[in-house]
Amino acid sequence: MEGEFFDMLPVLRMAAFGMLFETAMGVQIDEAEVERRGLLRVTDELAASVIGRVINIFHWPDFVFNLTKKGQRFYNNVEYIRSYNEQIVKKRKAEYKIGLEDGNKRKSFLDILLRMHLEDGTLTEDQVRDEVATVFIGGFDTTATAASYTLYLLGHYPEIQAKVHQELDEVFGDDWDRPVTLEDMKNLKYLECVIKESMRLYPPVPVVARNIDEDMKVGEYTIPRGTVAFAVIFALHRHPRVYENPNDFIPERFLEKKERHPYAYVPFSGGSRNCIGQRFAQIEDKIMLAQILRRFKVESKVPIEELQLQIEIVLRPVEGIELKLTKRERSA
């Protein structure tokens, strides 16, 4: 694929999916296994079902939705994911009980949950399965999408990409192969600003919903209790009252110590119901980008003004993210 334009998003989705499986469940899974089991297809169908139900008010009542073919397909997919996760949980639980865990291996998220279930009793087995399912469904697509938009923007701004390469060279030198450490990530400050600015312009989750528990006054309007309100993060992040030159890609705005409203930048939502996996997503995103950009230069095909987007649970490009990767030359 090097030297030719190709859709980067499927590659990043598979990479993020593999990273999630290993860190969250302690399971290594390859592309063939993912394809054979249709895991990405099922998660895509689940996301499409949720959005389809949201925009069709006739499907809001459970008793109606459950009778439709789409409803039956949705619950079949939910059961498939639940069954697959249950197999992993049961296998790992059996290993945990007889002490087969590798003491030298880092504990996965599932290992921690099982300890809380088996040793502390603070979680039931159903709760363990539910937590694993939450991470499984929501833990990879947003990260892959965010990384693809970052690469897309860098492909249109070579001067910013050059600054990222300079920082990566200062941290890694010519060693393109060693793993990225937590200490490395602390030193990748400009890359972090680039990622933040990318998620400002293209938030992976562009809209979030909240149930209004009591009447709420917003300016001259009253939102009555029981309303489902939608916060459009995509619009908020591009509001001229919040950001100067809001449609421009300016990573330096996150280097500045500028006071902003705490909810002016919410790529992971905000408040008590913000994204529980945001720290993991930030680390995963930074690692993937560091691994790619210390090896390659990136060029984008579709002009920014022509990039078509569609709002689902995740902000998706209609026709993918076409990029060209060119291997960088090592310094002498």
Residue 34 lies in a domain: yes
At 313, list the tokens: 């649970």
Q: Three-state SS for 310?
A: strand
Question: Does a structural domain hold residue 298?
Answer: no
259 vs 332: which has the higher pLDDT: 259
Residue 31, both tokens: 């592309």
| Strand pairing report for 296-300 and 322-327 | antiparallel
Vertex 33: Cα angle to 31 and 35 (nearest 5): 70
> DSSP for 227-267?
-EEEEEHHHHTT-TTTSSSTTS--GGGGTS-----TTS--B
Structure tokens at 7: 């859709």
Measured in degrees and rounded to the nearest 5, phi and psi for residue 132 equal -65, -40
Is residue 41 included in any domain, yes or no? yes
If phi over 0 gives left and psi between -120 and 50 gives alpha, with beta otherwise, what is residue 320? left
Structure confidence at residue 102 as a pLDDT band (50, 70, 90): low
Higher pLDDT, 289 or 16: 289
Do the domain assignments include residue 23? Answer: yes
Q: How far is CA 227 from CA 55, 145, 147, 231, in A?
A: 15, 30, 34, 13
Query: What pLDDT, on a 0 to 100 scale, did the predictor assign at position 91?
Result: 85
Q: What's residue 289's pLDDT?
A: 97
Record the tokens describing residue 326, joined without a space: 């060119």
Split at pLDDT 50, 70, 90, the class of 176 is confident
pLDDT of residue 55: 87
Q: Decide if pLDDT at 162 tops 90.
A: yes
Alpha helices, H only, 202-330 = 233-236, 278-293
User: What is the chain's mean pLDDT, rounded?
Assistant: 89
pLDDT (0 to 100) of residue 2: 63
Domain coverage including residue 13: 5-138
Distance CA 37, CA 28 (A): 14
Distance between CA atoms of residues 280 and 285, nearest Å: 8
Tokens found for residue 232: 């459009």
Q: Between 212 and 103, where is the model more confident?
A: 212
Per the domain annotation, does 60 fall within a domain?
yes
Residue 207 lies in a domain: no
Q: Are 273 and 229 within 8 A, CB to CB?
A: no
pLDDT in tens, 186-209: 999 999 999 999 999 999 999 998
Q: What is the DSSP letter of 226?
A: T
| The overall pTM is greater than 0.85 | yes
What is the rounded distance in angstroms from the CA atom of residue 332 to the CA atom of residue 327? 15
**pLDDT surpasses 60 at 8:** yes
Is residue 10 situated within a structural domain? yes
CB 212 within 8 A of CB 223: yes
Over residues 115-132, mean pLDDT: 86
Distance, CA of 32 to CA of 3 (rounded, Å) = 25
Query: Does the pLDDT value for residue 1 go beyond 70?
Result: no
193 is in an annotated binding site: no
Number of domains into which the chain is organized: 1
Model confidence at 137: pLDDT above 80: no
Q: Which residue type does 126 have? A: D
Rounded to an integer, what distance in angstroms lies between the CA atom of residue 142 and that of residue 145? 5
Strands 228-232, 207-211: parallel, antiparallel or unpaired by DSSP? Answer: antiparallel
Residue 54 in any domain: the answer is yes
Q: How many CB atoms lie within 10 A of CB 44?
A: 17
